Amino acid sequence: MADFKGRGPYDFDHDSPPTDFTSSRAHHGAADSSAIDPTSGVKRGLSTRHLSMMALAGIIGPGLLVGAGGALANGGPASLIIGFGVIGIIAFSIMQSLGELTTLYPSGGGFTGLADRFVDKAFGVAVGWNYFIIWFCVLANEYNVICSILTYWTDAVPLWGWFLIFWFLFLGFQLLGVAAFGEAEFWLAILKLAGLSAFFIFAIIYAAGGLIGQNEPLGARYWRDPGPWSTKLPGFRGVATVFVFCSTFYAGVESIAVAATETKNPSKAVPLATRQVLWRIIFVYMGSAIFFGLTCPSNAEGLAGGSSRALQSPMTIAIQTAGWQGGVHLINAFIFVTVLSAINASIYIGSRTIVFMAQESKAPRFLGKTNSRGVPVYAIIFTNLFGALSMMNVSTGAGKAYSYIVNLSGVSTFLVWGSISLIHIRFRSAWKYQGRTPDQLPFKSLWYPWNAYFGLFANCFLALVQGWTTLSPFNAGNFVDAYILLPLFPIIYFVYKIWNKTRLWDLGEIDLDHGRRRDLDSASRSISEGVMEESQIGTIKKLSLWKRLWRNF
């Protein structure tokens, strides 16, 4: 295995070939030098279509389809829309900041490396470990769901047996490399979008009274009875609870920063993927919030997944209420497809996060090793081991296990997102301090600085209020579950800072040039920046109106 030691984000300038790249290339055999990232050793095997589909529908798994049931039961349909809407605005803000940073610095480590570069190395350590916590929690949830679905269909294999089968299957698939991961995510994302579209069409027909055998339109019946707010947690209490669920559903929109290092042409792919997150928010999240609340009552029995044999989603309840009792198998099959994608993506993002951290001495060094094909074997195995947390399903039940792990990861999501906004603010401050202008950036964030400051303060606020409902009446167990990870961030930061004597970088000493990749397709860059040669303009003018609109989309 090739061990890329001692190369932080400042040690290599992509403008010129590294002095030791000859030996690295020899080690990698016939691998093309442009296919292996010389800093991290991972392979640049993701194309623009892979990253675009990851931004549009990647990481969308049973968290949305199943977890939305718990959110609907706790908050009601109004809380669901408010929660998805507010978190969607925050996610859009974060993606604008991240798009600007990652397009300019598509280096190993994503925003965890940029936290080290623009703020403080101790800050980068805290961000990195909190981000890894998110993904091993998500991974455990996905194993929880896939095992629950299969035990619902058959009890011939015990729960732990299904876990072991899929644990080894996913481990083997991840070891095939990033190209296999990207291709799988591409086609699974298409299936997810098709499945959601089919449910949205069903919901519209159902609400309008167009189903065979339906006597009257459903309309907004469930907004009147049981009502827009849940009787469990009415008003803001329900909305605050939904925020936790929604943060977990949205987790993953920022993953393009992690995948940028393994993308062939990030200057084209990252801005495109960043723009597509808006459509993801509108279609996937807001569409789900509207149609789940329209077709499923918030007081439906089993909505929060109380059964230990199968987690029920609002889609399952809606189809069964409409008269198709066998529809549970169709929805479970759809959830099964989404969980394949979610586990695949969780292992990928978690392993890449830890491998970049290890290479920057923020995690055990052996986790930063890659093999001759650019696959971080040790990091993949290490990340996948955390899937065993899903086995708490055996003693607590699938629904309770899901809630426990969601609460653990929710606060970490807010902390990481707020950190991205802070990194962006620090970057722009250094950019201005060193005499550079926003016009020099290949991708500019919308509405800076208001967008970045909004992301920072909104995420800090939500991290504090997401467990507010546990205070009155006070529930010690739920309070610890909601807030136990909140002090972890400052503990990691200050312990590492004191032990290693790190400091906040001055704006003037921040290096703004190293780590910028210029080994990219110039024609693609000029198109993404709106600067095209006359021949290119002529070619595009020859396209029909519909083809030009499709090209822009």
Cα gap 202→182, rounded to integer Å: 30
Q: Which of 112, 83, 397 is nearest to 254 (CA)?
A: 112
Q: Which of 403, 167, 138 is nearest to 252 (CA)?
A: 138
Task: Tell me whether residue 231 is exposed, middle or buried, using C-beta atoms within 10 angstroms of its C-beta: 0 to 12, 13 to 18, 19 or more.
Answer: exposed
* pLDDT at residue 454 in the model: 93
Instruction: State which residues of the chain have pLDDT below 70.
Output: 1-34, 37-39, 107-109, 233-235, 302, 304-311, 392-409, 469-470, 472-473, 475, 477-478, 481, 515-553
* pLDDT at residue 392 in the model: 62
Beta bridge partners of 471: 474
Q: How many CB atoms lie under 10 A from the CB of residue 397?
A: 18
Beta bridge partners of 2: 370
Tens digit of pLDDT for each residue in 20-68? Answer: 333 333 344 444 445 776 667 777 778 788 888 888 787 777 778 877 8
Contacts of 122 (CB under 8 A, 6+ apart): 492, 493, 494, 496, 497, 500, 502
Q: Could you tell me if 462 and 412 are in contact, meaning their C-beta atoms sit under 8 angstroms apart?
A: no
Q: Could you tell me if 522 and 20 are in contact, meaning their C-beta atoms sit under 8 angstroms apart?
A: no
Q: Could you tell me if 371 and 1 are in contact, meaning their C-beta atoms sit under 8 angstroms apart?
A: yes
Residue 6, Ramachandran bin (φ over 0: left; ψ between -120 and 50: alpha; else beta):
left
Task: Tell me the whole-structure pTM to 2 decimals.
Answer: 0.80
DSSP 283: I
Phi, psi of 263 (to 5 degrees): -100, 140
Phi, psi of 46 (to 5 degrees): -95, 130
* pLDDT at residue 229 in the model: 83
* pLDDT at residue 326 in the model: 76
Q: Which of 130, 152, 81, 87 is nearest to 399 (CA)?
A: 152
Cα 282 to chain centroid distance, Å, stands at 16
Tokens of 215: 């006597």
Q: Could you tell me if 72 and 231 are in contact, meaning their C-beta atoms sit under 8 angstroms apart?
A: no
* pLDDT at residue 42 in the model: 76
Q: Which of 310, 329, 238, 252 is nearest to 285 (CA)?
A: 252
Three-class secondary structure of residue 2 per DSSP: strand
Torsion angle in degrees (nearest 10) through CA of 508, 510, 512, 516: 170
Query: Architecture of 32-406 per CATH?
Result: Orthogonal Bundle (1.10)
Q: For 53-107, give the DSSP string.
A: HHHHHTT--HHHHTHHHHHHHHHHHHHHHHHHHHHHHHHHHHHHHHHHHHHH---
* pLDDT at residue 537 in the model: 40
Cα gap 361→6, rounded to integer Å: 8
Domain with CATH 1.10.4160.10 in the chain: 32-406
pLDDT > 90: percent of the chain: 14
DSSP 46: B
Cα gap 204→201, rounded to integer Å: 5
Phi, psi of 471 (to 5 degrees): -85, -30
Q: Could you tell me if 420 and 111 are in contact, meaning their C-beta atoms sit under 8 angstroms apart?
A: yes
Q: How many helices (H) and strands (E) does the chain have?
A: 24, 0
Instruction: Give residue 274's identity as a one-letter amino acid code.
Output: T
Q: For 162-190, give the DSSP string.
A: HHHHHHHHHHHHHTT-HHHHHHHHHHHHH
Helix, strand and coil in the chain, % to nearest 5: 70, 0, 30
* pLDDT at residue 7 in the model: 37
Tokens of 461: 């606020």
Tokens of 118: 């623009």
Average pLDDT taken over every residue of the chain = 77
Q: Could you tell me if 97 and 455 are in contact, meaning their C-beta atoms sit under 8 angstroms apart?
A: yes
- Find tokens 């339109």 and name the residue: 217
Q: Which of 485, 133, 68 is nearest to 294 (CA)?
A: 68
Cα gap 11→18, rounded to integer Å: 10
Cα gap 241→470, rounded to integer Å: 10
Q: Which of 306, 328, 23 is nearest to 153 (CA)?
A: 328
Cα gap 288→60, rounded to integer Å: 12
Q: Could you tell me if 311 and 62 are in contact, meaning their C-beta atoms sit under 8 angstroms apart?
A: yes
Instruction: Give residue 430's identity as a one-letter amino acid code.
Output: A
